[in-house]
Amino acid sequence: MSTTGVTPPIPAPDHAPRLRDALIAADFTADGLLERLGATAYAALARSETVPALRATRGDGPLDELVRLFLLQRSAACDRVGDVLPLDLCLADGWLVRDGDTVRATVDVRPYSGPAGEDWFIVSDLGCAVGGAAGAGGQGEAVVLGVGGASTTLAGITVRTPVASALDLGTGSGIQALHATRHATRVTATDLNPRALDFTRLTLALSGAPGAELLAGSLFEPLPAAETYDLIVSNPPFVISPAARLTYRDGGMGGDDLCRTLVQQAGERLNEGGYAQFLANWQHVEGEEWQDRVRAWVPAGCDAWIVQREVQDVTQYAELWLRDSGDHRGDPERYAARYEEWLDEFAAQRTKAVGFGWITLRKSASERPSVVLEEWTHPVEQPLGETVVAHFARQDYLREHDDAALLADHFVLAAEVVQEQVGPPGAEDPEHLVLRQNRGMRRATRVDTVGAGFAGACDGTLSAGRILDAIAQLLGEDPVLLRDRTPAALRVLVGEGFLEPVGVGKL
């Protein structure tokens, strides 16, 4: 690994198909790696911990050699590597460099499994896999990271409907662009860092994927003025920091302005019915609700679903990103000074915490756009692309049906929804009832006796109104009053996916 501060060269993709064939032949794939390392060492490697993987690859098989070479960044004997890889081509194209009788990798090559089990490879800077961004010795601010939790999260929530055009803003090592090549006829990827575009080209070539249009520049700037897309995705440099030290994470704008700008400008770049999906940070400012702040970002003509997944106070947030950049490993006084800079910046902006989450826009012609903001910090079941599509379909349905139309419609309980009774063991009656989803967002909602009885009776046979009339008769309630007060609760059950209308397609 370079430690001189000089940005190392990037391999050429000329013979990537030959290298790909050799890697797959050696079982250097996501499945092969998991089988060889075992679940524990595989998970540890994803956390940038290398000791378990080193212990698991002490053998002399081809896969052991490749793991040590590309993932653990150890030197290997030329003759042994030559038995596995086309050595001359790897040296000529710059994937490897020779040091006497040994060779070492110039880039990190990580096996990655596509959604249909494709054997893909994500190419990124050395050091990141074994030490995070702080481990990338010679790349400095231009470091290009590989696959991580944020990138897989975005890939999992992205809508995968076949489209004519897709745009990946801030592509990094090309993970989102790679996914898009499976379902988009034309893929465009941009990045402020030209090295990132080179890595994206390598990722696509080594994964056997179609090429993409690669443009250098910030956000939408390098795109033709009138160009629009069916899908826009971005894992942007969303970190709210006092200085733009690292291109891959620091947006270079004040506060959460980069995320706001990205979301606001996306609306005019979307085709009708198209989706824009982002990861983002937003400030929690004293005297202001975060929902109001982020709602103001939504562009005109777009529906939106915004989910806050995590909140950190300003000290937790500063410590997280100071560790990410390795500042905690250096001079204590320098670390303390940088910590102070973060806290000073937050104090000046009256920021008390930072939220992290997902933002999805859908271009809509509706005069009454649906903008849903919620906090959901519980586990979910990825992938969620179909869940995102279903969410907006439900909002369309609710927007088009008034209370009378809701009561006249028929519903069924969504698949894998169960009812739980909560109360002390042995109690005759539960304290409350809960409906819980066992897939997708895995939501849970409390219902009363009427709500539980209503949901249980929704098998598509009777209209909602008829079910309520029957419940009113059983409970001795006024059916008119019950009909009047139920539509609001029914909208929640439909909107959150517990109930599905019959005859309108799957929501």
Tens digit of each residue's pLDDT (9 = 90 or more) over 77-122 = 999 999 999 999 999 999 999 999 999 999 999 999 999 999 999 9
* pLDDT of 214 higher than 70: yes
State the amino acid at position 10 in one-letter form. Answer: I
pTM listed for this prediction: 0.93
Q: Say how far apart CA 175 and CA 213 lie, in whole Å.
A: 14
The share of the chain scoring above pLDDT 90, in percent, equals 84
Mean pLDDT of the chain: 92
424: part of which helix (H) or strand (E)? none
Whether 4 shows a pLDDT value over 60: the answer reads no
Q: How confident is the model at residue 504 (pLDDT cuts 50, 70, 90)?
A: low
pLDDT score at 285: 98
* Average confidence (pLDDT) over 444-469: 95
What is the Cα–Cα distance from 397 to 102, expressed in whole angstroms?
64
pLDDT the model gives residue 430 = 74
Q: Is the pLDDT of residue 355 over 50?
A: yes
Which tokens sit at 441? 């967002």
Q: Is 464 in a helix, a strand, or coil?
A: helix
- Report the pLDDT value the prediction gives residue 134, as an integer from 0 to 100: 47
- Looking at the predicted structure, is the pLDDT value of residue 439 above 90? yes
pLDDT at 384: 98
Checking if the pLDDT of 259 tops 90, the result is: yes
CA distance to 14, 294, 336, 417, 429, per residue, from 432 (Å): 64, 34, 50, 17, 9
3-state class of 430 per DSSP? coil
Question: Average of pLDDT values for 466-477?
Answer: 96
pLDDT range class, residue 21, cuts 50, 70, 90: very high
For residue 423, the model assigns a pLDDT of 80
CB atoms within 10 A of CB 463: 16
| Res. 250: pLDDT tops 70 | yes
What is the rounded CA–CA span in Å between residue 303 and residue 362?
5
Is the separation of the CB atoms in 244 and 193 below 8 Å? no
More confident residue, 88 or 245: 88
- Which pLDDT band, with edges at 50, 70 and 90, does 349 fall under? very high
State the pairing for strand pair 417-422/302-313: unpaired
CA–CA gap between residue 161 and residue 182 (Å, rounded): 10
* Residue 440, pLDDT above cutoff 60: yes
pLDDT at 352 over 70: yes
- Cis peptide bond N-terminal to 425, omega within 30: no
Query: 121-178: per-residue pLDDT in tens?
Result: 999 999 755 444 444 444 556 889 999 899 999 999 999 999 999 999 999 999 999 9
User: Residue 506's pLDDT is what?
Assistant: 55
More confident residue, 298 or 148: 298
Identify the band that residue 6 occupies on the pLDDT scale cut at 50, 70 and 90: low
- The confidence score (pLDDT) of residue 253 equals 79
Distance CA 208, CA 485 (A): 57
In contact, 196 and 178? CB cutoff 8 Å: no
Q: What's the pLDDT tens digit per position in 303-315?
A: 999 999 999 999 9
State the pLDDT at residue 376.
Answer: 97
CB atoms within 10 A of CB 81: 24
Helices 464-475 and 449-457, packing angle to 10 deg: 130
pLDDT greater than 70 at residue 64:
yes
